[in-house]
Structure 1
C-alpha cells in the first residue's frame, strides 16, 4: 500500500506540473505513467540496496531468495524506464502487468503467514488489504502504457498507438 500511496502522490505532483504548462504531462495517462515509472525505479532500487527488507517476503520453497529479490528489483527498474521510452512503452506496460500478476502469489503467502518486515506495518491486516490493490497495479501498468483507455474513454495516445 505504500507503493500505491507513492503512486498517488507522484501522480498528483505530475498533474500539478502539467497544469503549470509542461506539455508532456498533460492528461491522466502521462501523469500516471511518470508516477509509475518513478515509483518502480525507486522501489526497484530499494530492492537492490536493501534486499534484507524483501527476502522475508519470498516463499520458502523458492531457491536463492536474495537473487529473486535482485531480479524483481531489476524488473521494476527496467519496466519503469521502459514506460518512459515511447518505442518500448506498450511492451513495458504489458510486461509490468504480467509482473504484477506473477508476484501476487508472494503477496498471498505474506497475508496467510504474516511477516515482520522493516519499513512495513507489523499488523496482519496490512498484508490482506494489500492484496486488493494488486488488480489496480495491473490496470495502472496497462493504462499508463496506453494499452487501455478505460474508464476515462477517449482515444489512446498517438505516440503509443500501434501502426
Structure 2
C-alpha cells in the first residue's frame, strides 16, 4: 500500500545539519568509549563509592559508548539510529551522578580543582547532550518540529 493510500506522510530525509551533528556526536562518544577502556583510572577517580565493581562498570560503559556511536553513525537503519539516540540519552542521564560526584570532589580539593568555570557549564550541558542524542538519533524533532 502506498503512502497516498494509507494517508501517511512519506518518510522525511535527514537534514544536513542533523547528519553532521549526528556524526560529530558519534565521534565524541566513540572517543569517550575508547578512553573508558584505555584509561579507566581517570574514570575510577570520579566514580561514586556506591557504584559496585567500578572497574567493570567503567569497561562496560566504554563498550556502551562505542556501540552507541557505531549505531548512531551508520547511515542505513533509521530504527537503529533511533535506538542509539535513546540509549545514549539514557546513558548520559545515568552517568550524571558521576559528573556531580566529580564536581563535588574536585571543588572540595585544597586547590579547588578545575573550578566552577569548568563544572557549571558541564552540568548545564548534560541536558543538552541528552537532547542532542535524541535529536540526532531522529527520535525527536523539537524544537524545529514542522507543522
Q: TM-score range by the shorter chain?
A: 0.7 to 0.9
Larger C-alpha radius of gyration, 1 or 2?
A: 2
Q: What's the CA shift string for 1:57-90, capped at 9, x where partnerless?
A: 1101212221121111111101111112324111
Q: Which one scores higher on RCO, CA 8 angstroms, separation ≥ 6?
A: 2
Aligned to 2:84: 92
Which of 107, 120, 124 in structure 2 is aligned with 1:128?
120
CA contact (8 A) 1:51 1:69 kept: yes
Aligned to 2:135: 143
Task: Count matched residues.
Answer: 128
TM-score normalised by length of structure 1 = 0.70
Aligned to 1:27: 16
Q: What are the equivalent positions in structure 2 for 1:58-77 lying under 5 Å apart?
A: 58-77=47-66
Q: Runs (4+) of structure 1 moved beyond 3 Å?
A: none
CA contact (8 A) 1:114 1:127 kept: no
CA 1:25–1:122 in structure 2 vs 1: closer, same or farther (change >3 Å)? farther
The Cα shift of 1:41 comes to 0.7
The Cα shift of 1:103 comes to 0.7
TM-score normalised by length of structure 2 = 0.77
CA contact (8 A) 1:54 1:69 kept: yes
The Cα shift of 1:53 comes to 1.2
CA RMSD of aligned residues (A): 2.4
State how far apart, in whole Å, the 2-side matches of 1:35 and 1:71 are: 22
The SS at the match of 1:83 is: helix
